Amino acid sequence: MASSVDIFDDLEAEQEQLESVLAGLKPDDWLAPSAAAGWTVSDVVLHLAQTEEGVRATVRGNPDAIEWRSYGGTVDEAMAAMVLAEPAEPAAVFERWRVARRAAVQALRSADPQRPVRWVTTSLKPRTLATTRLAEHWAHGLDITMPLGIGYPDTTRLRHVAWLGHSTLPYAFSLAGLPAVPVHCDLIAPDGSSWQFGDPGAESVISGAAGAFCRVGARRLAAESSGLQTRGPYGARALQLLRNYADV
C-alpha cells in the first residue's frame, strides 16, 4: 500500500477530523438518528469506543477481553447487542471514545509489525488492522455527519480505504462462489491524482472517483448510483461485491 504518510498517522488524522466534528455537536445532535440503521449518533460513537477498546486489548495480547460471539450469532448482531448493553450519556460516550482511540493507536504503533493479532473472525497484522479502523471511522463519520448536514470532505486518506476494498476482492469473490480473478482499479483521488490498484493488464476494470469507490465498498452508496465505470468479464460483478472489510 503506497502512501507518503504512514497509516498510523493517517488513522490518527481521520480520528482527529471526526473528533473536531463531535466536539461541535449540540446536545440534541447526539440523540438524533444517524445513517446507521437503528442507531443514534451517540450509539455510533459508543460502537467506535467499544471496538477501539477491543483493538487495544487484542494488540496487548488479550483478544478474549471482548468476546464478540457471546453477544450474537453474527458480527452485526454482536455489535448491536454490545451498544444496547452499555447505554450512557453522550458526554461519557464521547470521552470514552477519545480515551479508547488514543490508546488503540498507541498500541498499534508499538506492536510487532510482523505479528498478526486476532480481530473478530480473522487475524490481521497491525498495519492492516489500522487500515480497517481508518475505514470504519471514515464510514461512521459519514453516518454521523450526513443526516446532520455537516460537511465531511474526502481526503487523500481514502487511498488506504480504496486499497482495502481492492485487496479484499478475492475474498468477496470467494464468498460469492466465484474465482478470484484479477481486477484493475483506476481511480481519481480527491486531489485529482490517479490511484492504480491491481494488474494494469487485467481484463476486468473499475474506474472513476475514489470517493464513490470507497462508499460502495462501505455499503454507503449503491453501485448503480456511484457513477463508476466497469468493463471486462468481471468488472461489474466486482463492483457489486466490493467491500472495505473482510469479516462475516
> DSSP assignment, residue 82?
H
**What digits encode the pLDDT tens for the residues 187-215?**
999 999 999 999 999 999 999 999 999 99
* Ordered DSSP codes for 5-50: S-HHHHHHHHHHHHHHHHHT--HHHHTSB-SSTT-BHHHHHHHHHH
Rounded CA-CA distance 219/83 in Å is 21
User: What confidence score (pLDDT) does residue 246 get?
Assistant: 57
Strand 204-209, strand 229-231: pairing: antiparallel
Q: Look at the domain 158-241 and name its fold.
A: Nonspecific Lipid-transfer Protein; Chain A (3.30.1050)
Rounded CA-CA distance 155/26 in Å is 25
By C-alpha distance, which of 160, 169, 99 is closest to 130? Answer: 160
User: What confidence score (pLDDT) does residue 210 get?
Assistant: 98
Query: Residue ranges per domain, the chain?
Result: 7-148, 158-241
Contact indicator for 124, 113 with CB cutoff of 8 Å: no
Long-range (24+ apart) CB contacts under 8 A made by 74-82 are 74/248, 75/120, 75/121, 75/247, 75/248, 79/47, 79/50, 79/51, 80/38, 82/47, 82/50
Contact indicator for 227, 211 with CB cutoff of 8 Å: no
Rounded CA-CA distance 36/134 in Å is 17
**What digits encode the pLDDT tens for the residues 116-171?**
999 987 899 999 999 999 999 999 999 999 999 999 999 999 999 999 999 999 99
How high is the mean pLDDT of the chain? Answer: 93
Averaged pLDDT for residues 79-100: 96
Question: 68: how many CB neighbours lie within 10 A of its CB?
Answer: 21
Contact indicator for 189, 179 with CB cutoff of 8 Å: no
pLDDT band at 98 (very low <50, low <70, confident <90, very high): very high
Find cell 478470484 and name the residue: 180
By C-alpha distance, which of 148, 197, 140 is closest to 2? Answer: 197
For 236, the 3-state DSSP assignment is: helix
Contact indicator for 168, 244 with CB cutoff of 8 Å: yes
Rounded CA-CA distance 109/127 in Å is 9
* Domain 7-148 of CATH type 1.20.120.450: yes
pLDDT band at 69 (very low <50, low <70, confident <90, very high): low
Find cell 460537511 and name the residue: 151
